[in-house]
Amino acid sequence: MAAQNTAIVTGAGTGVGKSVAITLLKTGWNVALCGRRKRLLDDAISSAGKTEGRALAVACDITKPNQVDHLFAETTREFGHLDLLFNNAGMSYKSTPIDEIPVEVWNDVVGVNLTGSFLCARAAFGIMRHQKPMGGRIVNNGSVSAYAPRPGSVPYTATKHAITGLTKTLALDGRPFDIACGQIDIGNALTEMAVPMTVGVPQANGTIAPEAVMDVQRVADAVLHMASLPLDANVLFMTVMATKMPFVGRG
């Protein structure tokens, strides 16, 4: 992968975003790492070691339109253009019946997972549509929750279903501008967020049980594959999951 390719990765300070950002850097991409805490972004860059690509850390709350605009302006100022947005940043909430979920929690989850993804996709689309050469790729982080919910996950599951609609529409609207859009749906990648799955999480039958997990590097490798395709090809949806997790069973 040539070093002139440029990506923005949101939620890049931890978990999936950090793994993807480091993998892109090591394969020659220039990467703008976005997250609310710059210290974590700097730590992620340091942990990557010497890489073929250049890194830029930009503190950004993706729910704030002015901060998103600043992120994309800084990226294009530093690197000149944009080839990839990995729309990764997201949040969840503990398993809770809908009538016990505070409205503030709903607003927070929608704000990050959906509005934040919209704002970043909006900024990326505008740059990719008008840059020369025209085009680029947007990869949205969905979830297996975009297909099947976990118990008590109304805010998270609703937003991930909405991300699927965002992906399909951008894939359609991007055609005239050589903008490809796809979605990666991840199941049980072993990040800090997923550690409880190794101990026990609520199941559809009312029990608490541990679940199989996979190395988060498998996700980064999958995103790299999606990002490395020529723009005349697109992975519209990819599910990468721990082989033995309870997703395709009857529940």
Flag whether 97 is in a domain.
Answer: yes
- pLDDT at residue 78 in the model: 97
- Could you tell me the pLDDT band of residue 197, with boundaries at 50, 70 and 90? confident
Flag whether 63 is in a domain.
Answer: yes
| Other residues' Cβ atoms within 10 Å of the Cβ of residue 165 | 11
| Other residues' Cβ atoms within 10 Å of the Cβ of residue 169 | 12
Flag whether 219 is in a domain.
Answer: yes
CA atoms within 13 A on the CB side of 151: 11
Domain count of the fold of the chain = 1
Flag whether 77 is in a domain.
Answer: yes
Flag whether 249 is in a domain.
Answer: no
Cα–Cα nearest to 247, from 141, 148, 146, 142: 148
Question: At 194, which CATH number?
Answer: 3.40.50.720
List the catalytic residues. 156
Flag whether 172 is in a domain.
Answer: yes
DSSP letter at 169 equals: H
Q: What is the pLDDT of residues 22-63, one digit of tens each?
A: 999 999 999 999 999 999 999 999 999 999 999 999 999 999
Flag whether 193 is in a domain.
Answer: yes
Which range marks the domain in which residue 29 is found? 6-241
pTM here?
0.95
d(CA 80, CA 229): 21
Flag whether 36 is in a domain.
Answer: yes
Mapped onto helix, strand or coil, the DSSP state of residue 78 is: helix
pLDDT above 60 (res 3) = no
Q: What is the pLDDT of residues 62-102, one digit of tens each?
A: 999 999 999 999 999 999 999 999 999 999 999 999 999 99
Q: What mean pLDDT is reported for the chain?
A: 95
Strands, sheet with 30-35, edge to edge from the N-terminal-most edge strand: 55-59, 30-35, 6-10, 84-87, 136-141, 179-187, 237-241
- pLDDT at residue 251 in the model: 59
